[in-house]
Chains A and B, each alone.
Chain A
């Protein structure tokens, strides 16, 4: 009777410890997933956005573009064309909110960088593409890349 009881206790102890071990491994996995999620790029980016908002700052985007037709235009002329296109498509209010400006333009390469508020990135890309419609094909601007910093945008503009 005592032996049977001892065996039963040993088996029960073994089963409990195995179950506990499995439970701990599972919990650890879940914990790792949660920790990874907390450290994820998306979450960090979101936190940066929240911090920026609290500080009253907006994130910017830099759109690299290439002039496929209409070389020889000055920086002021290109900026005016882009703003005109934006205004015609989305209106004066949107233009004011988007804060579109030409950050860099190289007339020899026909490449440049447009600075815009992150919320209006897509609007700016469409406005750049619509320049040829407004100029009836005389000037064709092709957006090539979008970056978050001017330094990277300048690098891509030099490669373009």
Chain B
């Protein structure tokens, strides 16, 4: 099973070829690209469109990876619709800082994989912030209540993180090797594979 990158944000002037090359160099076989309209394959790397929005009607219509961002506890309300329309729940910087065990319990009841972006966490860490939400999430992941998925959350091809960095990042936070493997390889590959097949 090859690794998949779940979050790359396409900005003006960026070359998709560069993204594919960076993905290949960092050990990924497919990338979900925010801002891409159609699925593409460049030098063997699959580029899949991604949409991150809280608007469920937009998520419903979108063909590609559908991500629902969570910022605060109130964002986790419309359970049945969310479960039907979203492929993945994305933790924003605010959510990583503020959410507590109760909200993480709600996430676990939802049953969708939860995405943690390495770049978002690194930014928060560099600012010296206490990541209450991340800690609660990792505890839930360790007890198999939440399926964790890591991504880079990059907006430049150079910022796509290698698989090794994602693995080290989770192990530094105390995740076991098997949980890390699941969060870095298995869950992202399964999510993107499901999107490609549908």
Contact = CB atoms under 8 A, between A and B. Distances in A.
A29 to B, nearest CB: 29
Given A126-B165, A129-B122, A133-B122, A140 B172 contact: no
Contacts of A130: 122, 125-126
A137 B156 contact: yes
A143 B162 contact: yes
Contacts of A129: 118, 122, 161, 165, 168-169
B165 A143 contact: yes
Contact of A122 (B118, B125, B171): B171
Interface string A78-98: 000000000011000000000
Size class of the contact patch on chain B: 20 to 34
A86 B197 CA distance: 42
A143 B161 CA distance: 9
Given A133-B119, A142-B158, A143-B162, A122 B168 contact: yes
Contacts, number: 56
A132 B172 contact: no
Contacts of A89: 125-126
Contacts of B159: 132, 137, 140
Contacts of A146: 164
Nearest to A67: B158
A56 to B, nearest CB: 26
Contacts of B119: 133
B2 to A, nearest CB: 18
Contacts of A132: 158-159
A115 interface: no
Contacts of A142: 26, 158, 162, 165
Interface in B43-63: none
Contacts of B171: 122
A16 interface: no
A89 B158 CA distance: 21
A88 B118 contact: no
A144 B163 CA distance: 10
A119 to B, nearest CB: 12
B123 interface: yes
A12 B148 CA distance: 62
A68 interface: yes
Given A140-B158, A142-B158, A121 B125 contact: no
Contacts of A150: none
Contacts of A143: 162, 164-165
Nearest to B27: A144
Given A89-B126, A133-B123, A146-B164, A123 B172 contact: yes
Given A68-B158, A132-B159, A142-B158, A125 B165 contact: yes
Interface in B155-192: 156, 158-159, 161-162, 164-165, 167-169, 171-172
Which 6 A-B residue pairings sit nearest by Cβ, starting from the closest? A125-B168, A122-B168, A68-B158, A129-B165, A140-B158, A133-B126
Interface of A: 68-69, 88-89, 121-123, 125-126, 128-130, 132-134, 137, 140, 142-146
